[in-house]
Structure 1
Amino acid sequence: MSPQEATVAMEASGYTSDAVGRVGRFGPFEQLRTRFRAVGAPSYRVDVVAYYVGPMGLTCMAVDALSGPQVSFDGIRLIGRRPSELSAELCAYLEKTGRDIEITTGGDIGSHELGMNPRAQRAGDVLLTRLVFGRPNDWANTVFDCVPAEEWRVH
């Protein structure tokens, strides 16, 4: 998906965005980013961030734990939960479906196969789940490799 296609899809779901921004380079390819927020939300709020790499298009999305849309996968609510609750439920799902249980760089349960990298995001005195979805392919070996450095700085 190109930045323009992602913007059209997000607008159809009630989100608006600023201009596409440049993040940096990944080898010979330019990395771009689009920040989305719900229509009517303050301009400083970022509910979803989409990252793109050159000709591959959309390679990574991050959904904010506090203001992002609710996302679920096979009946599992992924966004805005206590990390331990999501880890337990995701671990049980991965075991039940015969998939590998993986530990993310942040110490949470994730899945390279499903392209899910849950992260803890501070919400006042508690931590809630922010989810980073990545699409590794010929340009990246793992979900972690798909995620731009700026995303790892979100706490």
Structure 2
Amino acid sequence: MTEVSRVVDVPPEAVFTVLADGWLYSGWVVGSSHIRDVDENWPAAGSRIHHSVGPWPLHIQDVTVVKAVEPGSFLSLEARGWPLGAAEVGISLAPHGAGKTRVTMSERVVRGPGKVLPDAVQALLAKPRNEEALARLADLATGKYANRKSAQP
């Protein structure tokens, strides 16, 4: 399993607001190129984001499914991109000082060709991608939080 973390200068609920908006998924998930549909009850367990992975015209259409959710603190996903396979992704949010959040993302391949790769090789491939995903998630959460605060009287 590969794990990365990052401290974001907003509270956990601000980060979870981005995770709970399925239409923002391709804005922070590296490799996701287009969102086709989001189930109305996202991010409830069993709900799906219907997305494309990869560059046009070679993109793959598949889904990401919520496996478990604890609003404001945890989201477990199965991200699919067949024929490449599927990965189990966990995103945990924990308060980290005043108004900050430690975001931790874990990933492990559960199906497909990547499953036969040794853990060290999987980590070499996943770690930089997931670090970039957390950087994008941090930017979205920080921007949305700043806009919300400035809109308050």
Return the structure number with greater relative CO, CA threshold 8 A, min gap 6: 2
Fold agreement, TM-score > 0.5: no
Question: In proportion to residue count, which structure has more helix?
Answer: 2
